[in-house]
Structure 1
Amino acid sequence: MQDHTGTTQDQIQDLSIHDQYELAEQRYLELQELAGEVQSQIHDGDWAAPSVGSEINPRMGSSLGRAPEGATKNNSYYFDVFRTYAPAEDEDLHDIIRQTSDDWADRGWQISIEKIDNRTFLNATTSDHYWFELAENTHNDQLHFRGHSPVYWVTDYMELGRATQQRREAQNEAADEWPVADQSSETRRLFQPGEHRPFPAWEIID
């Protein structure tokens, strides 16, 4: 069975954990690059990034309804991204969502719009199986932007997760490479579209 990149489970079995880690890095960067491009069309300025510190951690692929057939909690993963933006008082959330819907449709993406509890959710799936959502938060007049990569095969999800977590911790200790994210809502750092936490190098651990 192939994942959304056309890679089979047998092909992944031939790769070392080092090789699979480097593949994961490439896929993380591809998601962040595309998400940044999409964000900039919505708002080419500052976004809050509440989960930026953990976005390098792969998520369990089988938890997504879009996972390929045969995906389990042990053999697949994906990456996600989450940003929030508070439009100016003279900007209407619904106008931004409508314009974004038009932009995504112009890209040829498959889109849907839902109303849930008085909130509007715009979803899109790309031809490459990336998924994006723009939703309004009526409690604080913010827009929430989410993105998921396609689901990928891995020989051992837990092993990849441990390798990433160990290097994330080492990266946190090397504050010159990555300043640990400030989680205070008042002083939290803002991020430009496409700005993201660097994926920790395999070699950061001896």
Structure 2
Amino acid sequence: MGKKILVLTGSPRVGGNSDLLAAAFVEGAKEAGHAVHVFAAGRANIGGCRACNACFSQNRPCVFEDDFSRLDSYLREAEVIVLASPLYWYDFTAQLKAVIDRLSAYTGRGILQIKESALLLCGAVEEREKFAGAIEVYRLITQGSLNWTDRGIVLAPGCGDKGAILGHPALEEARALGKSI
């Protein structure tokens, strides 16, 4: 039986390069028999964490009502979480970071089944080293704080304009990563 995978996409641009990168991953994961749910965090109405410490006080992850509450069941069931984002100033988009920050509601509660993670990044920059900041943040969160196993990182440099990723080798890398989970 396959794994339950949650893919969080961070781009506000519909059908953009990171969406296409995520779609390639999903294709590979489904071919391998996994159940995949994609949540478009970049187009959702999710505010940042307000550090009110009222998490789960009203039988939901956050007392503030927004689209984050739609994620709860998927977060609870997922065994693998995949972050897919364009590079904005050498980091994830603000929309994806808001979701990541709101995960703090779950820490230390033994609620999440997530054990593994992967990262898919694209950006206009050509130099792979300019992705280092986002990769470091990903590793600090997933491996440092949450103790998840990293299943892989796919980078797609040189992909700024919409559709620039078409024909890029990162699409096949993402598909292969999806199959390998």
Q: Taking structure 1 as the reference length, what is the TM-score of the superposition?
A: 0.27
If the length of structure 2 is used for normalisation, what is the TM-score?
Answer: 0.29
Bigger Rg, which one: 1
User: Could you say which structure has the higher helix fraction?
Assistant: 2
